[in-house]
Structure 1
Amino acid sequence: MTLLAAHAAVRFGLGARPDMPAPADPAAWLTAQIATLPELPGPGLGEIQAALRAQRRDIRHPGVGDILRTESTAWATRMITARRPFAERWANFWTNHLTVSRRAFQTAAWLGHYQRTAIRPHAFGRFEELLLAAYRHPAMLSYLDQTNSTGPRSVMGRRGRGLNENLARECLELHTVTPAGRYAQRDVTALARLLTGWSAGRGEQFREEDGFLFRAEAHEPGPKQLLGRDFPEGEEGGAEALRFLANHPATYRALAAKLARHFVADAPPRASVTWIEDALRNSRGDLSVVARALLAEPEAQRPLRKVRSAQDFAIAVLRALGFGAEAAPVLLATLTRLNQSLWNAPAPDGWSDEAAEWAAPEQLMRRLDWADELAGRTTAGGGADPGALADTFLGALARGDTLAVMQRAGSARDAIVVLLASPEAQRR
């Protein structure tokens, strides 16, 4: 596999597969993947609500766990077998940016549906629509306690319910303008009041919709001012505020820096950030335009500058070995073993993209132990070819020293371990 093809598969994709020929034109192959991702089948809102109600009646009810397993297995299968790996990485990036974690107990049943319906269909659309879709989904509303937020002067507020600022704070701090946007506490409170009434319906049992529901009786009446701009009351006032924040210059800068950190380098050159920021600003947040600009960014063409996360490493290894859907449970178990279990980020800022998180000695030892066990199972039947695996896994990115040590290894298993433990195997 050529250097350009290997770089395209490793940096922008999820890793190559032996049954998917390396692209003759890597740039065209990547660009062709920039198209709307379809909404995938899976448990629906009604099924999820029923499982949650059953669990409230009996904590041992398996419904929520069954849904989480179904969704997790579908995601893992998609990662191992994806034929549009750049598009899948792109969707995973935005899922991590707009993090919802199953560390909050009540969100577990919603997570797969959240990525399938709120993130994927909007990942190549406008950022404002992606943000709105995420903020209208029960997963986000539940994760950041928005369903409990009530305007102090609303009908429900006069009965003692209070304002919750979690969603508003994370919106400003993490998802849009960031502290560089110089917002103040009064802006957090204003946004929280704008978003009062944004909630999730409880289903037909309560004669409510299963998904997003605007509760007018919980909404803080009157106009509000956010970052010096006035917004009206009502559901549309909250939506208008989110669109304003999504297209704020500080948001474009923050998103550009985060994209550059993921795709270019931990400390990307200012020119790289500016390149992506210009694409965001000039297209008014069109993420398909931004994706094309990113692929053309000169610094993004320099290989092996990023340390692979545990998720990146495990997916790439299983793809290179040619596994299919049968390996989905292996991937999920491995992510837990490597301290990056699926949809389980430790905080609302998601999983880190920086080397310090993934190059720590304990993390690398866990990878080596897993690689050794996997190599043993793979070579038990005697059919594994370390040289072919090296070409699929790294191609021209494999160093001569690594290939030489592999050739001197005493067994196919040892050769595979050398490959998977090599410095270049840890990078993308």
Structure 2
Amino acid sequence: MIPTLAAIRFGTGLSPDLPPPDGAADLLARLDGPDEMAERFPVPDWNTRMDLIRRHGRLRRARREDPAAAEEYKKINRRLHTIYHRDLRQTMMRAIVTRDGLRERLTWFWAGHFAVADGGGYLRRSVAAYHDAAIRPHVAGRFGDLLFAAVTHPAMLTYLDQEKSIGPNSPRGRRGGGLNENLAREVLELHTLGAGAPYSQTDVRELAKLLTGLSVTRDGRFRWVRNMVEPGAETVLGETYGDETPNRHDIAAVLSDLAVHPATARHLSAKIARHFIADDPPADLIEAMTGTWLDTDGSLPAVYGAMLDHPAAWAPELRKVRRPLDFMAAALRVTDSGSELEAARGIRPLREGLTDPLTLMGQPWLRPSGPDGWPEEGTAWITPQGLAARLGWAMDLGRRQKPALDPRLLVETALGPLAGDRVRFAAGAAEDRAAGIGLILASPEFQRR
């Protein structure tokens, strides 16, 4: 039972070809190893995308007067659109063939925690590169490093309008402009301490002043602008940072302190437990994770280990609903659909088989509705439209299997000892193999982890 739960609850699902992790020690050992999937299934990096976006912007302005520019604009637009769909394919391929499913799941979790949405400008078809640069390399490290990488990345600075934040008394501020509190507020309320934690509006404003200077160049790269920095010391949660001389190390210092604050430890320990274990995780589990966080200065592997050491981690009840991305990845993995997906040419099969269904299920690719990311509660995902989309996609996946898998075998591969009598009966009694595959993938057992 433990290997099955390790693959389903903490990984990307069971596979017909790859053995599941043996348990907690195996999960953590693989996480401690090299990131093989990022190397095997790369995505274009941030700077490459910024070069494309910069050209896209220039051509958009020139296309009305220059037919050649208009044609080139269409090509760049199509290329960016293609990259968006291929990012999803690469994400799915990593989940389908990985032996390190916990890394994939943690990347998705932290990408939601430090949410940035696909949009216009620098965020046009570039968010996957932000995930690979700022999130993925740090999911097995210290939270302070992850926090700094995410908060100071050009994607986050753009998303929360930080590049427009100017210290009122800075050289630049004396010529106009103003302070923007968006990033400071989200750092305190979402990224670290949590809503209801012991901070005030004064702390938000002081942190906003301290974060001035964080900005983005015209070609989408990070920059720190000294003449935008609010001069003088700022006090956040009773600690004083900075002086009259602008110093970006003060930003690193305040983020480092927030990363190991007791409120941060409790808020994020509870959030991790809610994501992996249950919408209402045991109080002693949260206490154990919080204590480990504080004892290790935010060592994320140690916190994950505290979670995996708790009996609730291995309870046989499937308490969590798989989000659409998780569900689709697990279904493609267990049906051994990687070769077909990897061989897909053009964006139409990717759009029809992945991107559009993901939207119908309620999780549009790289487009969370706000900086708080995706909802955690199962009720947010089990809706009439969402269930209908899951069922339709599962049945379609069953029809695409060539040759069709035997549902009586698939039910064992997909669920093992977690399969109930009803889904076993449905697998054997379906009118054809395609229907049987669809019924297994649409079953309550497969929808949960």
Q: Shorter chain as normaliser: what TM range?
A: over 0.9
Query: What is the CA deviation profile of residues 207-265 of structure 1, one whole-angstrom value per residue up to 9, with x for unaligned ones?
Result: xxx63211001111110011111111421112111111111110001001101100110
Q: Secondary structure at the residue paired with 1:306?
A: coil
CA distance in 1, matches of 2:43, 2:437: 37
Query: Structure 2 vs 1, CA of residues 171 and 236 (structure 1 numbering), >3 Å: closer, same or farther?
Result: same
Q: AA paired with 2:364?
A: S
Residues 397 and 424, structure 1, Cα contact 8 Å, conserved in 2: yes
The corresponding residue for 1:377 is 400
The corresponding residue for 2:333 is 319
Trace 1:61-140 onto structure 2 (pairs within 5 A). Answer: 61-62=76-77, 63-103=79-119, 106-140=122-156
Q: 1:66: how far off?
A: 4.3
CA distance in 1, matches of 2:278, 2:47: 42
The reply to whether residue 250 of structure 1 matches residue 263 of structure 2 is: yes
Query: What is the CA deviation profile of residues 159-199 of structure 1, one whole-angstrom value per residue up to 9, with x for unaligned ones?
Result: 11111111111111100001232211111111111000011
Q: Secondary structure at the residue paired with 1:225?
A: strand
Q: 1:388: how far off?
A: 2.0
CA distance in 2, matches of 1:345, 1:94: 13
Query: Structure 2 vs 1, CA of residues 313 and 138 (structure 1 numbering), >3 Å: closer, same or farther?
Result: same
The corresponding residue for 1:344 is 367
The corresponding residue for 2:65 is none
The corresponding residue for 2:431 is 410
Greater relative contact order (Cα < 8 A, sep 6+): 1
Query: Structure 2 vs 1, CA of residues 69 and 362 (structure 1 numbering), >3 Å: closer, same or farther?
Result: closer
Trace 1:138-177 onto structure 2 (pairs within 5 A). Answer: 138-177=154-193
TM-score (ref. length: structure 1): 0.92
Q: 1:325: how far off?
A: 5.1
Query: Structure 2 vs 1, CA of residues 316 and 253 (structure 1 numbering), >3 Å: closer, same or farther?
Result: same
CA distance in 2, matches of 1:125, 1:97: 16
**Percent identity (aligned):** 40
CA RMSD between the two structures: 1.9
CA distance in 1, matches of 2:138, 2:85: 24
The corresponding residue for 2:323 is 309
CA distance in 2, matches of 1:183, 1:399: 48
Q: 1:292: how far off?
A: 1.5
Query: What is the CA deviation profile of residues 257-302 of structure 1, one whole-angstrom value per residue up to 9, with x for unaligned ones?
Result: 1011001100112111112111111111001111222211211111
Q: AA paired with 1:307?
A: V
Residues 24 and 305, structure 2, Cα contact 8 Å, conserved in 1: no
Q: Secondary structure at the residue paired with 2:124?
A: helix
Which runs of structure 1 show a deviation greater than 6 angstroms over 4 or more consecutive aligned residues? none
Q: Secondary structure at the residue paired with 1:244?
A: helix
Residues 252 and 281, structure 1, Cα contact 8 Å, conserved in 2: yes
CA distance in 2, matches of 1:34, 1:222: 43
Query: Structure 2 vs 1, CA of residues 391 and 371 (structure 1 numbering), >3 Å: closer, same or farther?
Result: same
The reply to whether residue 386 of structure 1 matches residue 407 of structure 2 is: yes
CA distance in 2, matches of 1:383, 1:370: 16
The corresponding residue for 1:240 is 253
Out of 291, 295, 298, the position equivalent to 2:308 is 295
Q: AA paired with 1:130?
A: L
CA distance in 2, matches of 1:383, 1:309: 26
Query: Structure 2 vs 1, CA of residues 418 and 43 (structure 1 numbering), >3 Å: closer, same or farther?
Result: closer
CA distance in 1, matches of 2:297, 2:43: 32
Query: What is the CA deviation profile of residues 117-158 of structure 1, one whole-angstrom value per residue up to 9, with x for unaligned ones?
Result: 111111111101100011221111111111111111111111
Q: 1:201: how far off?
A: 2.6
Query: Structure 2 vs 1, CA of residues 332 and 364 (structure 1 numbering), >3 Å: closer, same or farther?
Result: same
Out of 234, 237, 247, the position equivalent to 1:224 is 234
CA distance in 2, matches of 1:310, 1:105: 27
Q: Secondary structure at the residue paired with 2:281?
A: coil
CA distance in 1, matches of 2:257, 2:326: 34
Q: AA paired with 1:240?
A: A
The reply to whether residue 187 of structure 1 matches residue 200 of structure 2 is: no
Query: What is the CA deviation profile of residues 48-92 of structure 1, one whole-angstrom value per residue up to 9, with x for unaligned ones?
Result: 222121222234442543443443332222122222111111121
Aligned residue pair count: 417
